[in-house]
Structure 1
């Protein structure tokens, strides 16, 4: 029997990531806390506007037709102002444990990213659990993808360079959307870009849990709460759809080229590495980065060396996937 006893992992945390967790107030998620959690989402991101990005990228809030008879879906649309250029596009899906977050809090960061990558970004304001259970959120994302593909000519988007990106639960939804798009056969994604994705509800019930992962930011208790809200039942059962938990997909062949990054202390590190391993064995071009000393959400410490390294790795992978030329801080294209 494997010894699953939890050991403290603070000594493993990178030095410039320590202050963030030391200042955090530990919480146990509950439905009663959700309004407070949701209200503070934007403040936790602490994103500042970039004046050059505001000048170069137009941002619009709008709605697109929802799935079937469901409500329309909100999006934040980021469009580089330079005309006459056909660009790749990112369909972005925000994180928040399936129970919080919104597309609009991320506008400053996405406007800057659209400038740097010279691409169009559509960020989806999908419905949250527990008010909307699976498959509501992934169907909202699919509806946003359908709209993006349908409007590609008007937006100046190259349909062959549309991919999906997300962090945490957003990474889980991105992975689920890639499976759904593959299986429905209506739209072809060029890539999936997954940042510490939340893709396996079985992590909640494993008897071989990682003793060094999940101590900070997103814990096993929070994970169980998020999955239970999404599924409407306890996680780990036999009948969970792989469109809810992508790691349950029996066959990963035919998925787009994949980028995954995660922290070595992240609760999701084992499920993310296992998914990358399966993608590689399925013949999918796969790039995996695991950052030592990094916990879930380490991107919230933008000045940390690990965060900066991860951002560069992510940016370089997106540039390759989009077929873009990078744009420097002055707004000029650079090789």
Structure 2
């Protein structure tokens, strides 16, 4: 199989990023990846200085830290779950700024949970932390709640949406899933054909899912709350926005998830960005395709919230 090409503006970016941050291949490489990601973390004071229109604080849902960014007037909440392959990342990392880029023009409060990471804390630790944070959000923040996330955070957001559907609350206005990590089986055509390309390939994906699920990965013992692509029933979900690059591991599992929501009678908007690699819009923000991706999310958010 011949994989599709990268977007011309993105091709030199992906080569430079791969040189700086090689793909994971073993569990013992996780500490090094965390150190790289931690270099992007900001303090609360730095966030407050960079975003003076927001009141910045860190709250807690039990032992789960929550980054909370409140605009002067809030039209609702984006409950945003950070990425990192289930093994890295932070609620104080680059994703916090991504969430503001998603929500700022829609005047949404952002709440982002600092969930526990695998392999030290395997499934269901991350999901339980995200659920605790969502319950806190429903109690302490006014307005409709949109549940969102990127990469592993998108997968956790999708799993959390299934969980609150089945537990009948709290109510969600929608879910926004950017290049979500949905399927531990890791055997779609895009996963196979793109192994060795991009920033998060099939090999790295195996590391992340193995850290989270252990020996259950790829078996019949994986529940939908761990890997949402395993869900037998996708009915009763809130309006859903999904996007993914055409040149990334998760392309086909995201497309399949959107189709299955439609087949269950649901409302889903799907964007497959030609030439896009995993996380392209935040890693190459000036590219035309990145600007288009951010604009599409904002348009969907505004329409969802009646703006």
TM over 0.5: yes
Return the alpha-carbon distance in structure 1 between the equivalents of residues 262 and 228 of structure 2: 15
Aligned match of 2:219: 237
Q: Secondary structure at the residue paired with 1:316?
A: helix
Q: Does the aligned pair in 2 maintain the 1:175–1:246 contact within 8 Å?
A: yes
The answer to whether residue 80 in structure 2 is matched with residue 57 in structure 1 is no
Return the alpha-carbon distance in structure 2 between the equivalents of residues 210 and 128 of structure 1: 23
Alpha-carbon offset, residue 42 of structure 1? 5.1
Q: What is the 5 A alignment of 1:178-193?
A: 178-193=161-176
The answer to whether residue 11 in structure 2 is matched with residue 15 in structure 1 is no
Aligned match of 1:218: 200
Return the alpha-carbon distance in structure 1 between the equivalents of residues 177 and 205 of structure 2: 18
TM-score after normalising by structure 2: 0.90
Most deviating of 258-267 and 108-117 = 108-117
The answer to whether residue 258 in structure 2 is matched with residue 276 in structure 1 is yes
Alpha-carbon offset, residue 196 of structure 1? 0.6
Aligned match of 1:122: 111
Greater C-alpha Rg: 1
Aligned match of 1:331: none
Alpha-carbon offset, residue 178 of structure 1? 0.2
Q: Does the aligned pair in 2 maintain the 1:59–1:111 contact within 8 Å?
A: no
Cα distance, 1:274–1:39 mapped onto 2, change above 3 Å: same
Q: Structure 1: any 5+ residue segments left out of the alignment?
A: 1-5, 66-71, 325-335
Deviations 1:94-126 (A, max 9, x none): 111100000101344444544322111101110
Which of 189, 194, 203 aligns to 2:177? It is 194
Q: Does the aligned pair in 2 maintain the 1:178–1:192 contact within 8 Å?
A: yes
CA RMSD of the aligned region, Å?
A: 2.2
Which of 68, 71, 83 aligns to 1:77? It is 68
Alpha-carbon offset, residue 283 of structure 1? 1.2
Q: Secondary structure at the residue paired with 1:202?
A: coil
TM-score after normalising by structure 1: 0.83
Q: What is the 5 A alignment of 1:30-49?
A: 30-41=26-37, 43=39
Deviations 1:137-169 (A, max 9, x none): 0111110110011113xxxx11xx111000010
Q: Does the aligned pair in 1 maintain the 2:131–2:160 contact within 8 Å?
A: yes
Return the alpha-carbon distance in structure 1 between the equivalents of residues 36 and 286 of structure 2: 21
Return the alpha-carbon distance in structure 2 between the equivalents of residues 40 and 55 of structure 1: 27
Return the alpha-carbon distance in structure 2 between the equivalents of residues 179 and 163 of structure 1: 14
The answer to whether residue 87 in structure 2 is matched with residue 99 in structure 1 is yes
